[in-house]
Amino acid sequence: MPSIQEFMTQHHKVCDDLLVEAESALASKDWSAFAELWSKFETETLHHFAMEEQVLFPEFEAQTGMTAGPTMVMRQEHAQINAMFEQMKAAIEQQDQERAMGCSESIMIFIQQHNMKEEQILYPMTDNHLSNSAEIVEKMSTH
C-alpha cells in the first residue's frame, strides 16, 4: 500500500496530465475536444479535493487536533480553484480563446503552488502523524 504522500502525489500527476491534454485542445481551438477534456480535468480535480476534504483532512484534524492549520489553508485554496473553474465555464460557453487561455494559465499556476504545499508539507505531515495511513489511502482509493 502506498503512503498518503505517494498516493496523493500520483493523483496530482493524473490531474496534471489531464490539464496538459485540455490545454493542447485549447491551443488548437478545438472547442469540442477542449470542453470534454476540461470537464475530465475538472471532475478529477474535484474528486481529489473530495478525497482530501471528506477523508484525509478530517482524519488528520481528529488525530492531531490541528484544525486551523494547513487543512484550513488547503480548503480555502480549493474554494479559490472552484471559483476559477466557474470563470472557465463562462469562457467555454462563449468560446473565448483569450479568456480560456488566461483562466487555464491561472489555474495551472495556482494548482502547481497548491500541490507543492501539499506534497512538501501536508502529505509528509499526514504520513508522520497518522497511525492509520494505509487505511486512509484505502478509503481514498475507493472514495
CATH of the domain at 38: 1.20.120.520
Asked if 88 and 103 touch (Cβ cutoff 8 Å), the reply is yes
Asked if pLDDT for residue 14 goes beyond 90, the answer is yes
Angle between helices 97-117 and 4-27 (to 10 degrees): 170
Query: pLDDT band at 4, cuts 50/70/90?
Result: very high
Question: Which domain does 46 fall in, by range?
Answer: 4-141
Q: DSSP per residue over the chain, as a string? A: ---HHHHHHHHHHHHHHHHHHHHHHHHTT-HHHHHHHHHHHHHHHHHHHHHIIIIIHHHHHHHH---SSHHHHHHHHHHHHHHHHHHHHHHHHHT-HHHHHHHHHHHHHHHHHHHHHIIIIIHHHHHHH-TTHHHHHHHHHT-
Query: pLDDT band at 143, cuts 50/70/90?
Result: confident
Length, in residues, of the chain: 143
Please give the pLDDT value at position 26. Answer: 97
Please give the pLDDT value at position 1. Answer: 81
Considering Cα of 113, then 8, then 39, then 43, what sign does the dihedral take? negative
Q: Total structural domains in the chain?
A: 1
The 10s digit of each residue's pLDDT in 17-73 is 999 999 999 999 999 999 999 999 999 999 999 999 999 999 999 999 998 889 999
The 10s digit of each residue's pLDDT in 88-142 is 999 999 999 999 999 999 999 999 999 999 999 999 999 999 999 999 999 999 9
Question: Is pTM, for the whole model, over 0.85?
Answer: yes
